[in-house]
Structure 1
Amino acid sequence: MKKQTLLLGRVLRFSGDPMRQPWQDVVRIDSAGGVLLCDGRISAVGDGAALSAAHPQAEVTDYDAALICPGFIDAHVHYPQTAIIASWGKRLIDWLNTYTFPEEMRLADPAYAEEIAGRYLDLTLDHGTTSVASYCTIHPHSVDAIFSAAAARGQRIVAGKTCMDRNAPEGLRDSAQSAYDDSKALIDRWHGTGRASYAITPRFSPTSSAEQLAALGALWAERPDCLMQTHLSEQSDEIAWVRELYPQARDYLDTYEAHGLLGARALYGHAIHLEEREIDRITETGAALVHCPTSNTFIGSGLFDMAGLGARGVPVGLATDTGGGSSFSMLRTMAAAYEIGQLRGTPLHAAELMWLATAGSARSLHLQDRIGTLAAGMEADLCILDLASTPAIAQRAARAEDIWETLFATIMMGDDRAVADVWIAGERRGG
């Protein structure tokens, strides 16, 4: 008989999308729940006592008042920027030139790429993040490094070679042909291997020529099972630059659409300053957007319209955007998303925030059938949250009138100390 593990505690459950339905109808927390794990997957979720009685042979871990939830899913990161996170005082284009590009050039050294990949994944695991979608650098070995590091830890990973053939230092430029050739070889090597998925990755239109975008669009047409990730409408000066570089385009999104880089498996980071046509086309095609709240405030980009886009049914994930984002923590990211919602007059509830950081991000990555929800058959990636992890949080939790107030205090004030435990593919990794 295969080994079974039963986790007991409060269990976060989703039965629908709280961005489209009242959260009270589709999100709940079972106060005495259980999650049964077997062979890397979730076998059952339900009443803890009933599962204990039905599976007396299971090895039990009792988390008591802690919250058992899906592992966090970070839908847009740049692992090569790990070492320069929280760099002071620049807006996007200057920030790229001052901090990002010099650091990404260091990853020309395969040993350094391996070091940063491992460091990044360990840091995020400490914060309860079990799956990520990452940009790499132009160096193919940077892709090998993050996929190999994730495989060693058993994590689910989406990643791709970042392609740039202009407006970047010479050491970070490829070509239309090499972007196509390198990406195709990496897809053949990694896509669908273990828990790895490939994302075709033009950084953004300013650093890709029309020829390179067309080459990557052609590759995506050949391999439509891959994701395609890039950036869209992050800052106003960036949008003005795109207009100069692509004067024939109707808008920023059209620079991708005209080259075959718009579709249901497209993933656009930031998407703050969208025009109505862009929203219409994103909605029509089923493409996903990724909200990067700590980055959007840290670099001064603007306020993402979560409520408006959610009401249109646009799939939205949540992300730290390391290292433009200022934290590796999805708890801090949820807190920032709440704060941005407040500034727009549409604050998000704790149930909505937790959904965005788990099931919502999984849906944006087309992995909702594998991760992001605690349900039978799903991969067993879990995060266990201590809802009284610090004296400040504990004293607030003691005054909470219900479990949602308790959880909200951890979202707003929690950090890696709140992560009591992490499970990856059914194996305990520790918090």
Structure 2
Amino acid sequence: MSKLRVFRAAILHLLDDPKQSLTSDIAAVQYFSDGLLLVRDGLVEKVGHTPDLLSSLPVDCEIIHFPEHLIIPGLIDTHIHYPQTDMIAAFGERLLEWLEIYTFPTESQFGDETHAAEVAAFFLDELLRQGTTTALVFGTVHPASVNAFFKAAQARRLRMIAGKVMMDRNCPAYLQDTPDSAYADSKALIDQWHGKDRLLYAVTPRFAPTSSDAQLAKAGQLLHEYPDVYLHTHVAENQDEVAWVAELFPKSRSYLDVYHQHQLLKPRSVLAHSIYLDQADRDCMAQTGAAAAFCPCSNLFIGSGLFNLKAMQDSGVRVGLGSDVGGGDSFSLLQATNNAYKVLQLQNQKLSAWQALYLATLGGARALYLDDKLGNFLPNKEADFVVLNGKGTPLLERRLAKAQSLHEKLFALLMLADDRSISATYILGEEAYCNPNT
């Protein structure tokens, strides 16, 4: 027998890209000041105003009520490293030195599946505590890291994408694989996990400098053999990195062109950072269907540079938001929207509250080609959502009390909220996290 669950609160979601409008009456924004979200067997059945839907509910239907709370779709992180959980907030280095000093030694531990399982469990619970319900996730070069991650995600019924790092040069010997071993290990993991429950696989060369031409060709072979898997890597994050790639791949027009020449750009290819690109690169991404992960927290923390959102959107490139833990210093995509606003302010661009919410929800779903399943509350989408508390901190409560418009309230919420404002996170309509202080 099918199971109906009903949730009552203020409800906000986006039906399309809101661009940079500041008004709430645009077609892309749908808001119910007193709304009902109907979930049947884990999927959205209907969303609407309480007075319109209340009379149609079964008389014995339980309504889970969150007075003075806001329900939004689950947050979607388009770039994050779970093995870097324990090195978050590492001091004082830029990208290439940061990898050598902090990242590679930390990742060396993930050949031990027991260790990997413990970190994966903490990592996923932390995502849920922050309101993130779906993520595109780096493992390490070890297959055990991916097995542990997928087992933990499966136990929590999460929609997660992950992959084994491919890395056959310019890294410590203890983390090197080979083109053939990377292909064989990735193929076995795809066969075991891709499409199992809500899990999906990403072919994951770390970045161009750590993969030979032969290994990048093997990554392209995997994408050809499994056309519905993802490609997850980094591009043009740091100026020294870009110069290094030019030395390593002199026949490529640009850093992005390295991936294009190896047939790695397609729908479901997600390129983290994408800072130092030119118009030809952006056009290539748009034409191939590749997406960019905007990672403002890590770009500021590591001092990499400023992502040009307007140029990407004007070129038709899909863009999602990424926390990029551990380069990023917070698991919270609410904090990522805060930093995104500041990154764009430095470039004389404005990030509206609608656009910020879009990047963290429907925009992320579109970047991952999952907008048929996630990103808003249209019927038959998976019912992953977050319950936000506007009284999570005294300052937030005070600021929201002074706000006049819905846009002003949402903007203040996104700028000031953190994990204290996450009252609950739901996965397929079932509570997966409840804030004990709410």
User: Normalization by structure 1: what TM-score?
Assistant: 0.98
Q: CA deviation at 1:347?
A: 1.5
Q: Give the AA of the match of 2:329.
A: S
Q: CA deviation at 1:130?
A: 0.7
Residue of structure 2 equivalent to 1:90: 93
User: Whole-Å Cα distance in 2 between the matches of residues 4 and 263 of structure 1?
Assistant: 38
Shift of 1:21: 7.7
CA distance in 1, matches of 2:21, 2:192: 40
Of residues 319, 333, 341, the one that matches 1:330 is 333
Moved more, 74-83 or 9-18: 9-18
Mapped partners of 2:361, 2:69: distance in 1: 17
Distance, in Å, in 2 between the alignment partners of 1:181 and 1:21 is 48
Partner secondary structure for residue 34 of structure 2: strand
Paired position in structure 2 for 1:344: 347
Which of 417, 420, 424 pairs up with 1:414?
417
Give CA deviations for 1:196-232 in whole Å, capped at 9, x if unaligned: 0111110000000010000110111111110111101
Residue 113 of structure 2 corresponds to residue 110 of structure 1: yes
Amino acid aligned to 1:14: L
Q: Does 1:26 align with 2:28?
A: yes
Taking the TM superposition and a 5 Å limit, the aligned residue runs for 1:42-53 are 42-53=44-55
What amino acid is the match of 1:134? Answer: V
- Partner of 1:193 in structure 2? 196
Deviation of 1:22 (Å): 7.8
2:115 maps to a residue whose letter is: Y
What amino acid is aligned across from residue 89 of structure 1 in structure 2? G
Q: Which residue of 1 aligns with 2:128?
A: 125
Deviation at 1:263, TM superposition (A): 1.4
Question: Deviations 1:105-142 (Å, cap 9, x if unpaired)?
Answer: 01121111001101100111101111111010010010
Give the conservation status (yes or no) of the 8 Å contact 2:16–2:362.
no
Tell me the SS of whatever aligns to 2:346: helix
1:15 alignment partner in structure 2: 15
Alignment partner of 1:2 is 2:26 = no
Q: Is the 8 A contact 1:20 1:313 kept in 2?
A: no
Partner Cα distance (1:49, 1:265) in 2: 40
Q: Which sits farther off after the overlay, 80-89 or 16-25?
A: 16-25
Output the CA distance in 2 between the equivalents of 1:337 and 1:182: 36
Cα distance in 1 for residues equivalent to 2:21 and 2:352: 13
Is 2:186 the partner of 1:183?
yes
Report the Cα offset of residue 346 of structure 1: 1.1
SS of 2:27 mapped into structure 1: helix
Aligned to 2:57: 55
* Structure 2 residue 310 is the aligned partner of structure 1 residue 307: yes
Residue 20 of structure 1, CA deviation? 8.2
- Is the 2:293–2:322 contact (alpha carbons within 8 Å) kept by the matching residues of 1? yes
Q: Which residue of 1 aligns with 2:39?
A: 37
Equivalent residue letter for 1:153: R
Q: CA deviation at 1:174?
A: 0.3
Q: Secondary structure at the match of 1:89?
A: coil
Deviates more, 1:155-164 or 1:277-286: 277-286
Among 67, 70, 75, the residue aligned to 1:72: 75
- For the 8 Å contact 1:19–1:310, the answer to whether it is kept is no
Query: Displacement, 1:52?
Result: 2.2
- Over 3 Å counting, the alpha-carbon distance change for 1:222 and 1:420 in structure 2 is same
2:167 aligned residue (164, 172, 188):
164
Distance change >3 Å, CA 215–CA 22, structure 1 → 2: farther
Which residue of the partner structure matches residue 263 of structure 2?
260
* Aligned 8 A contact 1:350 1:404 in 2: yes
Whole-angstrom CA distance in 1 between matches of 2:425 and 2:268: 29
Matched, 1:240 2:269: no
Q: After TM superposition, give the deviation of residue 93 of structure 1 in Å.
A: 0.3
What are the Cα deviations for residues 310-362 of structure 1, in whole angstroms up to 9, with x where unaligned? 12221000010011001000100010111111111112111111111011111
> Bigger shift: 56-65 or 233-242?
56-65
Q: Tell me the distance in 1 between the aligned counterparts of 2:62 and 2:357.
A: 28
Match of 2:396 in 1: 393
Distance 1:34 1:316, change over 3 A: same
Separation of aligned partners in 2, 1:264 and 1:71 = 22
Unaligned stretches of 5+ in structure 1? Answer: none
SS at match of 1:344: coil
Quote the Cα distance in structure 1 between the aligned partners of 2:67 and 2:405: 16
Instruction: List runs of 5+ in structure 2 lacking aligned partners.
Output: none
Report the CA distance between 1:49 and its aligned residue: 2.6
**Partner amino acid, structure 1, of 2:48:** G
Output the TM-score relative to the length of structure 2.
0.96
What is the number of residues matched between the two proteins?
431
CA-based RMSD: 1.3
Distance 1:286 1:19 in 2: 20
Cα 1:284–1:101 change in 2 (3 A) is: same
Whole-Å separation in 2 of the counterparts to 1:108 and 1:191: 21
Distance between the aligned counterparts of 2:6 and 2:54, measured in 1? 7
CA distance in 1, matches of 2:222, 2:47: 41
